[in-house]
Chains A and B, each alone.
Chain A
């Protein structure tokens, strides 16, 4: 028999061996460090993203305003035609009264440009809502024009030459005088949520977009929630396992991974082209979004139904329920929390989708929110 004695003996405590062990442990520590650094990088990028968004966007929540004491002159506003009065003159006069002293024509124009072009409409709406205000003095909190708004929020730099900024030196002087007299305030900008698109940045708001998103999401939910759950229940509980069920499952998994742009092309070609539905309507947007959310809801519902223990099903069958009753009365209520979680995630993804809605034309510039 051959000798099986070990020919070499290792000295596990030699310098060589110790060095190797140290190197291996150092490699282990390095990998751990790389992993931690990767997580740190991802979290850091998320923080930079959110931080840059907040930093550049938070000033939109306030709006610079001045209080105007407007005397609603009965000679300028005819009681029979309240809507047709010259509110622009009234508002401009009230604005002029805020600063004493003379102004020549150029100075007047520069000064009046500081007031927003929408201020007369604010006054008009108030007087039309309450015609008893004719002949009285009304306090209107009027927004200032966009260049002054940005100046007050610190976005416009003051130390660049005049031709490189949107606020002229004259207007800068008037702004400083108004600030000295304590007339400039920056309250919370409720108009951000109540006003629709506008040519003037200080008057623009998100109302149109919010309402449109709401309607599109509502249509998406109403279509995809029942259809998705019904399809998932059928595929999971009732369909015979076979080629057709496999085919449908593969189909649904593929649909879940199709880029959203392709759904936009589908909506364009079929809903707008073939069926002739109106362009830019929340109905079509909602239908396209529901087609995108449907695979997500089906997959989530199937997972939730699978997670219900078989003992529940067998117990229900044991007391004499039919297969439909087992599913509808016992399994579905238990799976509902999981289904709702998945639906919320799917709807949140649909809310953030842009590409398919662009392709069906939902980028209209609407100046008043849809009713």
Chain B
């Protein structure tokens, strides 16, 4: 149905374009007045007024169609079937009706349900055609209204430009709406979580065992939602990742910026960038299949007990992934230090190493620190490597050979299971997501401030 709407709208828009263009040329020729805008602008004006409202209408219709039909179907069922049902059971009835309407019949549904499914199909078809008709009507209305304004004196170009401006503003607003959407949805669900679990227990509790009984007769833990071990696990893995990435990244940047020739730089800078382009799932695979067993075997050979999903394996591979962040941002920072400082340092007899250590690094330090903080925020938010290579049980330990779990692993495992949305288990994922969002946001803002405030202006 949506394809039909597109075809209708495009046809109407094209017709309006051609018609308006011809009309304004004819009117200009008849009255002898020069038209203000090119004929194509008149055509575009009409086409936009035909197409944009119709498309917007169809999008809104599509978004609301299903929920409106669902409420109507529920209202059409006999009273005795729907009274006293809570929202969850109502949606169960709706999904049963929808799956029967889609042709998948399980077991012996009640005759009222089958009748309701047939009604659903009829109404959906009707709604599809109604959408096409409404959008065509909106297009035609736009056509008729704008047609009257087509005159040589009409400033069509200004009209088109105003419409384009509004469209562009709407697109720019999408970015803000996305941030608002993230914050609102996280806050909303997190508040539902904090209704059940007090904030203090979440932030300061030392026990993270989200396995609570789903059904009344299930034997399971009581469910403790103290998130400190999870935060600690995230910090341990991020720390290991930075310990791998900072030396390698910084030294690579120093070599590429100061010691290497231009051909070496041209050859090896892209190779380092490749590390940033590899999907994180592939890193996770590498960590699970190659690095973790190798570390375990190595640990067994020297007598240490390394867990199969140790923090060292996950953190090490995450560090490899972060190397290009640190190296390219530090490279930029070092290159931004003006030549005069370098030349002055060489002039008083310092070697290259001394110049780097005493002059360049302190001058580039704000940029390097900004890069390190951005890399840290990336490490904290990284998901796939830790989902595949790190553990699921929260443990209060800083031993890198143990298995720990991170915030992102818990978010994924809590939401992949089968618990319903009201359960504190699923809502805990949103609370963790809120923490993650706030921490990474804070790190990014701090990084930006450091770079802005402490960057020297050399001129």
Contacts and interface: CB of A to CB of B under 8 A. Distances in A.
Nearest to B178: A291
Interface residues of A, dominant DSSP: helix
B112 interface: no
B168 interface: yes
A234 B172 contact: yes
15 contacts: A32-B255, A43-B268, A43-B272, A46-B275, A231-B171, A255-B175, A255-B179, A258-B440, A260-B381, A261-B408, A265-B429, A266-B186, A269-B189, A324-B164, A353-B279
A263 B188 CA distance: 15
Nearest to A278: B66
A259 B440 contact: yes
Interface residues of B, dominant DSSP: helix
Interface string B234-265: 00000000000001111110111011000000
4 cross-chain pairs, A with B, having the tightest CB-CB distances, nearest first: A259-B381, A35-B255, A352-B279, A38-B251
Contacts of A254: 179, 441, 444-445
Contact of B172 (A49, A231, A266, A324): A231
Contacts of A43: 268, 271-272
A234 B290 contact: no
Nearest to B377: A257
Nearest to A356: B383
Interface in A255-293: 255, 257-263, 265-266, 268-270, 273-276, 291
Contacts of A351: 279
A38 B382 CA distance: 24
Interface stretch (A81-89, A150-158, A245-253): A245-253
Interface stretch (B132-140, B201-209, B297-305, B347-355): B347-355
A39 B444 contact: no
B257 to A, nearest CB: 9
B280 A352 contact: yes
Interface in A356-371: 358-359, 363
A329 interface: no
B167 interface: yes
Contact of A252 (B175, B249, B353): B175
Contacts of B182: 258, 262-263, 265-266
Contacts of B179: 251, 254-255
Contacts of A257: 374, 377-378, 440, 444
B171 to A, nearest CB: 4
A239 B440 CA distance: 28
Given A56-B289, A258-B441, A276-B67, A31 B412 contact: no
A242 to B, nearest CB: 14
Given A25-B351, A28-B353, A28-B354, 17 more contacts: A24-B354, A27-B354, A38-B255, A42-B252, A53-B285, A230-B167, A233-B168, A251-B179, A253-B448, A257-B378, A258-B381, A260-B383, A261-B411, A265-B411, A269-B189, A274-B185, A355-B383
A363 B327 CA distance: 35
B176 A253 contact: no
B282 interface: yes
A294 B175 CA distance: 8
Interface in B378-408: 378, 380-384, 387, 408
A226 to B, nearest CB: 8
Contacts of A269: 185-186, 188-189, 430
A351 B351 CA distance: 47
A61 to B, nearest CB: 17
Contact of A355 (B63, B258, B412): B412
A268 B415 contact: yes
Contacts of A358: 412, 416
A42 B174 contact: no
Interface residues of B, number: 84
A254 B167 CA distance: 23
A45 interface: yes
Given A259-B382, A265-B429, A269-B189, A251 B351 contact: no
Contacts of A49: 278, 282-283, 286, 320
A342 interface: no
A234 B67 contact: no
A341 interface: no
B273 to A, nearest CB: 10
B212 interface: no
A293 to B, nearest CB: 12
Interface string B289-314: 11000000000000000000000000
A253 B441 CA distance: 10
Contacts of B357: 31
A349 B352 CA distance: 38
A145 interface: no
B437 interface: yes
A41 to B, nearest CB: 6
A330 to B, nearest CB: 15
A212 interface: no
A324 B38 CA distance: 14
B336 to A, nearest CB: 16
Contacts of B445: 254
B436 interface: yes
B77 interface: no
Contact of B175 (A34, A41, A233, A298): A298
B157 interface: yes
A227 B168 CA distance: 8
B323 interface: yes
A348 interface: yes
Contacts of A25: 351
Contacts of B171: 226-228, 230-231, 234
A121 interface: no
- By CB atoms of chain B within 10 A, which of A257, A261, A355 has the most? A261
Contacts of A294: 174-175, 178
A223 to B, nearest CB: 9
- By CB atoms of chain A within 10 A, which of B175, B251, B283 has the most? B175
Contacts of A139: none
A36 interface: yes
A41 B289 contact: no
Contacts of B415: 265, 268, 359
Contacts of B165: 234, 238
B221 interface: no
A355 B286 CA distance: 17
B421 interface: yes
A280 to B, nearest CB: 12
A266 B279 contact: no
Contacts of B67: 276
Nearest to A295: B175
A354 interface: yes
